[in-house]
Amino acid sequence: MKSYNFAPGPTPVTAEVTAAMSRPILTHRSAEFSAMLREVSDGLRYLFQTKNDVLTLTSSGSGAMEATIVNLLSPGDKVLAIVSGKFGARWVELCDVYGVDVIAIDVPWGEAVNIDVVANSLQTNDNIKAILSTHSETSTGVLHDIEALGALARERDVLLIVDAVSGLGANDLRTDAWGVDVVVTGSQKGLMLPPGLAFVSVSQRAWRASETSRNPRYYFSFDRAKSSLEKGLTPYTPAVSLLMGLAEILHEIQRIGLETIFAHHAVMAGATRAATRAMGLELFAKTPSNVLTSVKMPEGIDGGELLKHMKQCYGVTIANGMEQYKGKTIRIAHLGYAVDAFDMIIAVSALERGLAFFGHNFELGSGLSAIQQFLHMSETIDRASAG
Amino acid sequence: MKSYNFAPGPTPVTAEVTAAMSRPILTHRSAEFSAMLREVSDGLRYLFQTKNDVLTLTSSGSGAMEATIVNLLSPGDKVLAIVSGKFGARWVELCDVYGVDVIAIDVPWGEAVNIDVVANSLQTNDNIKAILSTHSETSTGVLHDIEALGALARERDVLLIVDAVSGLGANDLRTDAWGVDVVVTGSQKGLMLPPGLAFVSVSQRAWRASETSRNPRYYFSFDRAKSSLEKGLTPYTPAVSLLMGLAEILHEIQRIGLETIFAHHAVMAGATRAATRAMGLELFAKTPSNVLTSVKMPEGIDGGELLKHMKQCYGVTIANGMEQYKGKTIRIAHLGYAVDAFDMIIAVSALERGLAFFGHNFELGSGLSAIQQFLHMSETIDRASAG
């Protein structure tokens, strides 16, 4: 039985990237490595839509979130954190560890933050230094309005720090145009690499904040990363094979273009949402991200049991809901431009069969038919606009 | 855009086989190589369901067909060849080149040979030395009744030589139990290897025939292949990396078991046939093989144009009909045990969208729904018989 993964990361690694990572490992103190690192820097700036420095860390995305806290904030600093799911809560956990005074803006799971609530909180609380937000909240499938948060942050002159681990490269995020100070992502999501690298873009405002930060840092020091990068180096031994894969995928992303990649994710997400509705399922996220489609389980069907059956009988992995929504929602990812319409058809085929097995009352095939209609329509529109 | 291949070969190469072929190339005059070759011999006997010698040639399947003619037959020998498509005709071409007197039993494309016709031909023609047949005729999707031909061959004491290039490992073929003297196959079909190797099983009766054959042979000499094999060698440099992949896939085939593999092909074929009928298409083969499903194009749709559109717009390759049926039939392969239900769903999804594009009058989604019903039913039956 083959395995099909629709959990939100790791995402598919292309044959070209696998080939690039299989070449002899470059020495990380060589001219070839430096040349590659400089190329990678340019590619990352394109992906992040920024002129800022984009630093590469050999860590997971959570490591880069921690790096952001220790480089930019000090004990006693006051911040707002938008908490609309498990990954928003991670900002609060990190602030607690480093003595940062965090005010959580709790948002019901499945909803995006209300910008007025953030504005009010900035108004009523003195000396807020930063807003910490999630871009695409992986636990619920919600997309937050980073553009609006950016406008607010610029108006109030606070830092805007965004965890875009799952969202970057799938949903638009204009770091410079929207005034975002820090954007964090990981290698195993929109970049379609194996896990092991994380990336952080740092604005001039963020660099100034780092000058006064009193938290201890060594491995995660932004300063060391930046001064090394200027010499074409990394401060410590990096995950070189992953960097070789990164160079390859960034070439591909620049060749294809971000606009095309975002449009592709929108079609995959639209097709998946159409299918789930046709199967009589309700969407969980009120403002859905194009990273994943989160749907509520029908009365009487446990998501955990359904997913176990799909994995065992069809080899298909879809993610369970998290925390209090475990078993009550399931999450189907369509993340990475190599995920195509046929992949989503596989996910929906397996989901249909699983639901039929557990007695859900719907017409077997209705989800697939809805995808076919959606794709046929998209194709017709594309053809009309092309010619 | 990703590529999806549903032409009848090459078939998917598994990750395990790719890994095996990526190991350092063994020296073909080493003890390790000999040990591997002996292991491979046992695996091939299992696959061919025979105690006969199974010889490995570095050539395509057509090379092994030619080898069979030059080793077993002489100019002036009289044979019957069953011609029900392009690959049956290849036997006639080979006989013509080597001066073998061939009587063609022409069968309408899309039909299997009538055993009575073969029996009559043996009755009315003196001194027939061999029957040359195809197992699964790839140009039409027809499966011939090799068991019945075997019974006839044993009754009349003629050799039965079978081209099972596309069929072996997909449809049952009991070399010894059915009394088949020579079975030929290639690496890139049911064995799911890259092209480059061919295999021939040779019965005692066939070896006796080779003793008197007067055709010239050197590279394709069965004698040389056999005497080398007994020493754990090949007479000439073989395609070693493919042999390393062969060792791996034969282990897998033995682990899974032929019975399970045949049953899997039957489900894939059944699901595909159900889908095409639901889309209002007519099956071309009257006794269909489980290797591929051949369907007639509806009035007014050219198969070539349809397939070109599917390749260009969806990255999906389905094979055109051959010779006089080019454009009039299309051929969807479900060959190799790594081809799963989701693969067939991809093929049918693309076919539906292509047919809709060309204005075929049917309900988009009906083919996919039929597959879902078929799979759901198979699953229900499996569960009932398991518990």
Distance CA A110, CA A236 (A): 40
Q: What are phi and psi of B163, to 5 degrees?
A: -85, 105
Q: pLDDT tens across A40-74, in order?
A: 999 999 999 999 999 999 999 999 999 999 999 99
**Chain B residues close to A340, C-beta within 8 Å:** 1-2, 315
**B378 in A contact zone (CB under 8 Å):** no
Q: How many domains are there within chain B?
A: 2
Q: pLDDT tens across B275-332, in order?
A: 999 999 999 999 999 999 999 999 999 999 999 999 999 999 999 999 999 999 999 9
Domain final residue pick, B225, B256, B287: B256
**A274 inside domain:** yes
**A1 in B contact zone (CB under 8 Å):** yes
Instruction: Give the pTM.
Output: 0.91
**Chain A residues close to B368, C-beta within 8 Å:** 345, 349, 365, 368-369, 372
CA atoms within 13 A on the CB side of B127: 7
**B185 in A contact zone (CB under 8 Å):** no
Helical residues (DSSP H) of B157-238, grouped into ranges: 204-212, 222-230
**B1 inside domain:** no
CATH code where residue A239 lies: 3.40.640.10
Q: Quote the percentage of chain B above a pLDDT of 70.
A: 100
Q: Is A264 exposed, middle or buried (0-12, 13-18, 19+ CB in 10 A)?
A: buried
Nearest to B340 among A2, A365, A373 (CB): A2
Residue A243: pLDDT above 80? yes
Q: pLDDT tens across A95-119, in order?
A: 999 999 999 999 999 999 999 999 9
Reading across the β-sheet that carries A316-320, which strands appear in turn? A4-6, A316-320, A329-333, A292-296, A282-283
**B372 in A contact zone (CB under 8 Å):** yes
Residue A169: pLDDT above 70? yes
- Indicate if A97 and A29 belong to the same structural domain: yes
Q: For position B212, what pLDDT does the model report?
A: 96
- Average pLDDT over every residue of A149-178: 98
Please answer yes or no on whether B376 and A369 come within 8 Å at the CB atom: no
Nearest to A364 among B352, B357, B373 (CB): B373
Q: pLDDT tens across A72-89, in order?
A: 999 999 999 999 999 999
Residue of A nearest to B380 (CA): A357
**Chain A residues close to B365, C-beta within 8 Å:** 365-366, 368-370, 372-373
Q: At what angle do helices A366-386 and A341-357 cross, to 10 degrees?
A: 160
Distance CA A288, CA A272 (A): 12
**Chain A residues close to B4, C-beta within 8 Å:** 342
Check: CB of residue A362 under 8 Å from CB of residue A279: yes
Check: CB of residue A201 under 8 Å from CB of residue A53: yes
Check: CB of residue B293 under 8 Å from CB of residue B7: no
**Chain B residues close to A315, C-beta within 8 Å:** 340
- Indicate if B234 and B328 belong to the same structural domain: no
Residue B383: pLDDT above 90? no
**Chain B residues close to A371, C-beta within 8 Å:** 349
Nearest to B365 among A2, A342, A369 (CB): A369
- Indicate if A111 and A226 belong to the same structural domain: yes
Check: CB of residue A315 under 8 Å from CB of residue A169: no
Q: Quote the percentage of chain B above a pLDDT of 90.
A: 97
Q: pLDDT tens across A248-267, in order?
A: 999 999 999 999 999 999 99
Residues sharing a CB contact under 8 Å with residue A155, sequence separation 6 or more, in sequence order: none
Residue B225 Cα, gap to closest chain A Cα (Å) = 36
**B346 in A contact zone (CB under 8 Å):** yes
Q: For position B312, what pLDDT does the model report?
A: 96
- Indicate if B303 and B252 belong to the same structural domain: no
**B3 inside domain:** no
Q: For position B379, what pLDDT does the model report?
A: 83
Task: Spell out a b/e string for B360-387, using b for 16 or more CB atoms within 10 Å of the CB, else e.
Answer: beeebbbbbbbbbbbbbebbeeeeeeee
End-to-end CA distance of chain A: 43
Q: pLDDT tens across A178-206, in order?
A: 999 999 999 999 999 999 999 999 999 99
DSSP reduced 3-state for B136: strand
Residue with tokens 């995959």: A268
Q: At what angle do helices B341-357 and B366-386 cross, to 10 degrees?
A: 160
What distances in angstroms separate CA A276 from CA A142, A270, A339, B265, B314, one per listed residue?
16, 10, 18, 30, 23
Domain final residue pick, A236, A256, A276: A256
**B362 in A contact zone (CB under 8 Å):** no
- Indicate if A324 and A211 belong to the same structural domain: no
Q: For position B384, what pLDDT does the model report?
A: 79
Q: What tokens appear for B142 in the block?
A: 């027809």
What distances in angstroms separate CA B131 from CA B95, B167, B239, B370, one per listed residue?
12, 18, 31, 40
Residue A139 Cα, gap to closest chain B Cα (Å) = 27
Q: What are phi and psi of A82, to 5 degrees?
A: -90, 120
- Average pLDDT over every residue of A127-151: 98
**A5 inside domain:** no
Check: CB of residue B73 under 8 Å from CB of residue B130: yes
Please answer yes or no on whether B342 and A346 come within 8 Å at the CB atom: yes
Q: pLDDT tens across B98-148, in order?
A: 999 999 999 999 999 999 999 999 999 999 999 999 999 999 999 999 999
Residue of B nearest to A349 (CA): B372
Q: For position B385, what pLDDT does the model report?
A: 77
Cis peptide before B216 (omega within 30 of 0): no
Please answer yes or no on whether A346 and B350 come within 8 Å at the CB atom: no
- Indicate if B95 and B165 belong to the same structural domain: yes
- Average pLDDT over every residue of B375-381: 87
Q: Are strands B53-57 and A101-106 parallel, antiparallel or unpaired?
A: unpaired
Please answer yes or no on whether B2 and A340 come within 8 Å at the CB atom: yes
Residue A128: pLDDT above 80? yes
Please answer yes or no on whether B369 and A370 come within 8 Å at the CB atom: no
**Chain B residues close to A192, C-beta within 8 Å:** none
Q: For position B386, what pLDDT does the model report?
A: 73
DSSP reduced 3-state for A73: coil
Nearest to A356 among B363, B364, B376 (CB): B376
Task: Give A386's pLDDT tier (boundaries 50, 70, 90).
Answer: confident
Q: For position B380, what pLDDT does the model report?
A: 80
Residue B195: pLDDT above 70? yes
Residue of B309, B312, B345, B368 to mutate, testing the A interface (most A Cβ within 10 Å of its Cβ): B368
Range of the domain at B344: 258-386
**Chain B residues close to A369, C-beta within 8 Å:** 363-366, 368-369
Q: What are phi and psi of B336, to 5 degrees?
A: 105, 135
What distances in angstroms separate CA A302 from CA A142, A296, A307, one per listed residue?
22, 10, 9
Mean confidence (pLDDT) of chain A:
96
DSSP reduced 3-state for A4: strand
Please answer yes or no on whether A340 and B373 come within 8 Å at the CB atom: no
**A252 in B contact zone (CB under 8 Å):** no
Domain final residue pick, B256, B288, B307: B256
Please answer yes or no on whether B338 and A313 come within 8 Å at the CB atom: no
Q: Are strands B101-106 and B78-83 parallel, antiparallel or unpaired?
A: parallel
Please answer yes or no on whether A379 and B338 come within 8 Å at the CB atom: no
Residue of A17, A267, A372, A380 to mutate, testing the B interface (most B Cβ within 10 Å of its Cβ): A372
**A80 inside domain:** yes
Nearest partner of B131 among B185, B82, B179, B83, judged by Cα? B82
Nearest to B364 among A346, A349, A369 (CB): A369
Degrees to nearest 5, angle at CA B78 with B76 and B83: 125
- Indicate if A366 and A252 belong to the same structural domain: no
Residue of A nearest to B378 (CA): A353
Q: Count of CB contacts below 8 A, A vs B?
A: 91
- Indicate if B83 and B165 belong to the same structural domain: yes
Q: What tokens appear for A80 in the block?
A: 């707002």
- Indicate if A50 and A95 belong to the same structural domain: yes
Nearest to B2 among A1, A338, A373 (CB): A338
**A378 in B contact zone (CB under 8 Å):** no
Q: For position B387, what pLDDT does the model report?
A: 61
Residue of B nearest to A355 (CA): B376
Q: What tokens appear for A96 in the block?
A: 């607690």
Reported in sequence order, the residue ranges of chain A that DSSP labels E, i.e. its strands, are 4-6, 53-57, 78-83, 101-106, 128-134, 136-137, 142-143, 159-163, 182-186, 198-202, 282-283, 292-296, 316-320, 329-333
Residue of B nearest to A261 (CA): B1
Please answer yes or no on whether A342 and B2 come within 8 Å at the CB atom: yes
**A376 in B contact zone (CB under 8 Å):** yes
**A10 inside domain:** no
Q: pLDDT tens across B48-88, in order?
A: 999 999 999 999 999 999 999 999 999 999 999 999 999 99
- Indicate if A123 and A231 belong to the same structural domain: yes
Task: Please give the distance of CA A235 from its chain centroid, rounded to a whole number.
Answer: 26
- Indicate if A306 and A326 belong to the same structural domain: yes
Nearest partner of B46 among B173, B145, B229, judged by Cα? B173
- Looking at this predicted complex, what is its ipTM? 0.85
Residue B211: pLDDT above 80? yes
Q: Which of residues 298-327 of A touch B (CB under 8 A)?
A: 313-316
Provide the sign of the torsion angle of the four alpha carbons A256, A261, A267, A272, taken in this order. positive
Nearest to B349 among A1, A316, A342 (CB): A342
Residues sharing a CB contact under 8 Å with residue B253, sequence separation 6 or more, in sequence order: B43, B46, B47, B169, B261, B337
**Chain A residues close to B379, C-beta within 8 Å:** 313, 353, 357
**A9 inside domain:** no
**B162 inside domain:** yes
Nearest to B353 among A352, A364, A376 (CB): A376
- Indicate if B293 and B163 belong to the same structural domain: no
CATH code where residue B313 lies: 3.90.1150.10
